[in-house]
Amino acid sequence: MTVPAIELKGISKSFGPVQANKDISISVAPGTIHGIIGENGAGKSTLMSILYGFYKADKGEIWINGKKTEIPDSQAAIAAGIGMVFQHFKLVENFTVLENIILGAEDGGLLKPSLAKARRTLAELAAEYELNVDPDAVIEEIGVGMQQRVEILKALYRQAEILILDEPTGVLTPAEADQLFRILHRLKDEGKTIILITHKLREIMEATDTVSVMRRGEMTATVKTAETSPEHLAELMVGRKVLLRVDKVPAKPGKPILEIENLRVTDDKGVERVKGIDLTVRAGEIMGIAGVAGNGQSELLEVLGGMRPGSGAIRLNGAPLPLSGPGSDARARRAAHVAHVPEDRQREGLIMEFHAWENVAFGYHHDPAYQSGIFMNNAALRADTDRKIEKFDVRPADGWLAAKNFSGGNQQKIVVAREIERNPDLLLVGQPTRGVDIGAIEFIHKQIVALRDQGKAVLLVSVELEEIFGLADRIAVMFDGHIMGERLPDETDEKELGLLMAGVNGEAA
């Protein structure tokens, strides 16, 4: 038996009353890709932060290459040969690739020798691992896939033998993700050890040799990837059997509910983000908008939800809705029976400091049922909240709790309950399951499908292709503010959508 590259022994860490890691032990063999999977809040990130020296474990030991190692800060982690690629890149946008790579690892006060040395090393690394990047390109001008490669190179430049990647595919197109996995395999073949943190079962199955499952701060299992299945892993993550595919009957599309013509939207900085799109969503169907984050989907939702002005024309049930000026705000949209589950529930969908019952009125606080004379009828509101909490199985079932004290999944359930229970003609949904645990995902998906089956129109924006495929009856792909094409889920695959998401038009190619 070889000496493990990393061995964690009985790591425990708590934040106040919350135990984030409970007696966790894993052992990762050198030259392997080890996956760590778990729901949000399962403690994956905490564990990796301990390994990288951001947090100090309350208890437990870290052994690197058979040596007990103290890692009080990230400098010590780097010295121990650990490199980390964060979910949100830590690059200086207006620096070149080379400048970013030496940042914090300069050899002296003068930059020139460092840069020259880095240039040589980079060429060697590129040759060794097929990690090609232009050293003189400026970060803000290269794509996210390339930026991620710079992050990996940064770690390798610091002589990392162990590479930790935290949710690396969140911002990548499927093609870019495949490329990343090829790079990871190459690194593995050269003897590097890789830890891949993700909540996507597909990636675990594709990329890893062994996988550890975390649930509520505990390591529930470590298995060889070849000997397991996605269903089994999901069960280990959630603690019960879950339905990975959404159960739904074929859609019966009716008359058009939402018609969009030549819609253009400009963001706060004056950049045009939606560049003249046409789209129709019919009654009884879920229209899925796929695309890599930042290609105009958010702005599209915001305009439809009345949070931002636009130009062009939208019609709801045949009647035009104003896109700017009076009658274009979110209140008017709600009055027109458009409900909106926003992309960012913490910044938009909820007031985190408000009680759950106050949040149930959020956006609908003009509802006559919630008024009593000049005051708000808080008793009626609380009764309504209790009903919704029960129906949507929000836990803990306590309307007096502040929104911030619910888990992500239960926060989202509150938002979804509020919006769906209004029985809207059109439901706008943005990233409905981002940061939501698998159990709640299943429930939220069911609610959306149920609304569709009542003959309502749903516009779904998601960066998770799995979710798009699972829910949508039609798929439109957005890239750079344009709709690249519409497909039926049965007649397309991830590869084709991936190309569209990258801006490659199938017909033209």
Partner 1 sequence: MDKMPKWADVVLIPLISLILAAILSALVILGIGEDPVAAVNMMVSGALGSTYGWGYTLYYATNFMFTGLAVAVAFHARLFNIGGEGQAMLGGLGVAMICLYIPWPHWTMALLAACAASMLFGAVWAAIPAYLQARRGSHIVITTIMFNFIAAALLNYMLVNVMRPDGSMDPASERFPAAVHLPTLHELLAPIGISFSKAAPANVSLLVAVLACVVVWALIWRTRLGYEIRAYGHSESGALYAGISPFKITMVAMLISGALAGLMATNNVMGEAERLVLNSTEGAGFIGIAVALMGRSHPFGVFLAAILFGFLYQGGAELALWTNIPRELIVVIQALVILFTGALDNMVRMPLEKVFLALRKGKA
Q: Which two tokens stand for residue 365?
A: 């606080």
Question: Strand, helix or coil at 36?
Answer: strand
Tell me the window of 81-89, 136-144, 159-167, 329-337 that interacts with partner 1 (CB under 8 A): 329-337
Shortest distance, position 330 Cβ to partner 1, whole Å: 3
Tell me the closest approach of the beta carbon of residue 435 to partner 1, in angstroms. 17
- Helix, coil or strand: residue 64: strand
Angle subtended at Cα 188 by Cα 100 and Cα 147, rounded to the nearest 5 degrees: 25
Query: Which of 128, 189, 206, 344 contacts partner 1 by CB under 8 A?
Result: 344
**Binding segment toward partner 1, per CB under 8 A, in 88-96, 143-151, 311-319, 328-336:** 328-336
Largest CA distance in the chain: 77
Candidates 221, 307, 313, 397: give the one binding partner 1 (CB under 8 A): 307
Using the structure block, give the residue that is written with the tokens 């980079």.
122
Could you tell me the two tokens for 373? 């004379």
Burial class of residue 244 (count of CB atoms within 10 Å of its CB; 0-12, 13-18, 19+): middle
Total binding residues for partner 1 by CB under 8 A?
Answer: 36
Closer of 89 and 354 to partner 1 (Cβ): 354
Q: What is the DSSP string of 412-437?
A: HHHHHHHHHTT--SEEEEESTTTT--
Residues with Cβ within 8 Å of 493's Cβ and at least 6 positions away in sequence, in order, are none
Contact 63, 69 (CB under 8 A): yes
Instruction: Return the residue of 291, 349, 399, 409 that touches partner 1, per CB under 8 A.
Output: 349
User: What radius of gyration do the chain's Cα atoms show?
Assistant: 25
Amino acid 474 reads R
| Torsions phi, psi for 508 (to 5 deg) | -75, -35
Task: Give residues with Cβ within 8 angstroms of 469, minimum separation 6.
Answer: 475, 489, 494
Stretch of 11-19, 56-64, 136-144, 455-463 lying at the interface with partner 1 (CB under 8 A): 11-19
Q: Please pick, from the candidates 79, 137, 223, 332, the single residue that binds partner 1 as defined by CB under 8 A.
A: 332
Q: Which 354-393 residues touch partner 1, going by CB under 8 A?
A: 354, 358, 361-363, 365-366, 371, 374-376, 378
Burial pattern 471-486, b for ≥16 Cβ within 10 A else e, equals bbbbbbbbbebbbbbe
Question: Which of 352, 380, 397, 504: binder of partner 1 (CB under 8 A)?
Answer: 352
Query: Could you say which of 178, 209, 235, 329 contacts partner 1 (CB under 8 A)?
Result: 329
SS3 of 227, please? helix
3-state SS assignment for residue 107: coil
Question: Quick one: which segment of 95-103, 183-191, 253-261, 344-352 binds partner 1 (CB under 8 A)?
Answer: 344-352
Cβ atoms 94, 138 nearer than 8 A: yes
The residue within the footprint of partner 1, chosen from 161, 167, 348, 442 (CB under 8 A), is 348
| Interaction of residue 56 with partner 1, rule CB under 8 A | no
Range 462-501, binding partner 1 (CB under 8 A): none
Interaction of residue 325 with partner 1, rule CB under 8 A: no
The answer to whether 16 contacts partner 1 (rule: CB under 8 A) is yes
350 lies in the binding site for partner 1 (CB under 8 A)? yes
Instruction: Output 168 or 305, the one with its CB closest to partner 1.
Output: 305
The region, left, alpha or beta by phi > 0 then psi within -120 to 50, assigned to residue 30 is beta
Single out the segment in contact with partner 1 by CB under 8 A; choices: 43-51, 189-197, 253-261, 333-341.
Answer: 333-341
Nearer to partner 1, 59 or 347 (CB): 347
**Which residues between 277 and 296 bind partner 1 (CB under 8 A)?**
none
Binding mask 390-429 for partner 1 (x = CB under 8 A): ------------x--x------------------------
Q: Are 89 and 35 in contact (CB under 8 A)?
A: no
Q: Which residues bind partner 1 (CB under 8 A)?
A: 16-18, 305-307, 329-334, 340, 342, 344, 347-354, 358, 361-363, 365-366, 371, 374-376, 378, 402, 405
